[in-house]
Amino acid sequence: MLTQTVESYLAVRRACGFKLKSEGSLLRSFAIYSEERGKHHVCSETAIEWAGRTQSVTTRARRLGKVIRFARHIRAEDHSHELPPAFFGSEQKQRPTPYIFSQEEIRGLVQTVSQSGYRTLRRQTYATFFSLLACTGLRVSEAIQLHFEDITLDGLIIRISKFRKSRLVPLHKTAQVGLERYLKLRRPYAPFDNHLFISLRRKPLRIEDVDTTFKAAVCKIGLKQGPGLPRPTPHSLRHTFAVRALETCPDCRDLITKHMLALSSYLGHSSVSYTYWYLEATPHLMRKIAESSESFIRGGRP
């Protein structure tokens, strides 16, 4: 039965660390759709028909892409399953160009939130929160989930976040001092909750609240926004950290590889390809690559 095959496939991939919430639902829907039509193996015609039941071409490509990935896996043991063609095009969306903050913009952002609203812990909470994102490259969700016990002498322990990975993020001495200063104010405010960052409701911060505070600060400092321009978001602080780290990459070929692998592990990427994406997504880095390539072709040092 195709439904059982889908469940087996999902179990294997989840054991590898993938959550597959939406993909699991879609593949179960495909299996039921196929079996209702008497198909107990992946059939290209049925897969294309099932994927095409939505109006958006992008959604069709995404739905069919998941079936294609599933078919590749199960064909290793049973070639009676067909491998559907990418009938609706690539399922991969083009990632938007990231917004990269300047040092002055980050300084202005932190200063603005530290002076916004009433004179309460909220000011220090968001000033520390955005500062931590900027100097560590943490994901917003990772910073929100930090607890007191995650702060160690060696750095921050990020426990089983995206892709079920845990990692240690070293902290600069200035970052340690900043956290210690914030903790002196934070601990007595909600002593029975051990989340590092909390709201005025004495509960963990919510992503929606972080977004709202960030947007208000961005408007106050006057960052350029509009159609065709990169959009600044809290995640842009992570992008900025990654780009600045790549700018310090050494010239030696072997050292570049080590640098990329180290940065990929530091950021918690599931694949180093996600780290290399910053090279092609950032005009400044692309220009440096082009200049180095031109110099190399002309016989100079790459």
Q: Given the residues 28, 73, 162, 259, select the one marked as catalytic.
A: 162
Q: What is the pLDDT of residues 29-43, one digit of tens each?
A: 999 999 999 999 999
Q: Is 238 designated active site?
A: yes
Quote the CA–CA distance of 164 and 162 in Å, as a whole number: 5
Residue type, 161: S
Give the bridge partners for 152, in sequence order: 155
Given this model, what pLDDT does residue 123 score? 94
pLDDT band at 163 (very low <50, low <70, confident <90, very high): low
pTM comes to 0.71
Q: Given the residues 99, 182, 266, 278, select the one marked as catalytic.
A: 278
Mean pLDDT value across the chain? 87
- Specify the residue for token string 């959604």: 59
Q: What strands, in cross-sheet order, belong to the sheet with 151-152?
A: 151-152, 155-158, 167-169
Mean pLDDT of 35-54: 94
* Strands (E) located in 141-271: 151-152, 155-158, 167-169
253 burial (CB, 10 Å; 0-12 / 13-18 / 19+) is exposed
Quote the CA–CA distance of 59 and 64 in Å, as a whole number: 9
Token digits of residue 22:
């939406």
Quote the CA–CA distance of 160 and 278 in Å, as a whole number: 24
Give pairs for 78-82: CB < 8 Å, separation 24+: 78/41, 80/41, 81/41, 81/42, 82/41, 82/42, 82/43, 82/44, 82/47
Given this model, what pLDDT does residue 164 score? 65
Mean pLDDT of 250-273: 76
Q: What is the pLDDT of residues 87-111, one digit of tens each?
A: 988 777 667 778 889 999 999 999 9
Q: Given the residues 60, 195, 239, 269, select the one marked as catalytic.
A: 269
Q: Is 259 designated active site?
A: no
Quote the CA–CA distance of 178 and 115 in Å, as a whole number: 17
Q: Given the residues 62, 122, 186, 238, select the one marked as catalytic.
A: 238
Q: Is 9 designated active site?
A: no
Lowest mean pLDDT among 115-129, 218-232, 283-297: 283-297
Give the bridge partners for 155, in sequence order: 152
Given this model, what pLDDT does residue 90 score? 79
> 3-state DSSP call for residue 66?
helix
Q: Given the residues 66, 122, 139, 186, select the one marked as catalytic.
A: 139
Q: Is 14 designated active site?
A: no
Distances (CA, A) of 103 to 40, 134, 244: 58, 10, 10
Quote the CA–CA distance of 289 and 294 in Å, as a whole number: 9
Q: Is 269 designated active site?
A: yes
Q: What is the pLDDT of residues 105-151, one digit of tens each?
A: 999 999 999 998 777 899 999 999 999 999 999 999 999 999 999 99
Quote the CA–CA distance of 66 and 30 in Å, as a whole number: 10
CA proximity to 169, closest of 266, 246, 272:
266
Pick the more confident residue, 264 or 298: 264
pLDDT band at 254 (very low <50, low <70, confident <90, very high): low
Q: Given the residues 123, 235, 244, 288, select the one marked as catalytic.
A: 235
Sign of the dihedral through C-alpha 302, 284, 213, 217: positive
Q: Is 81 designated active site?
A: no
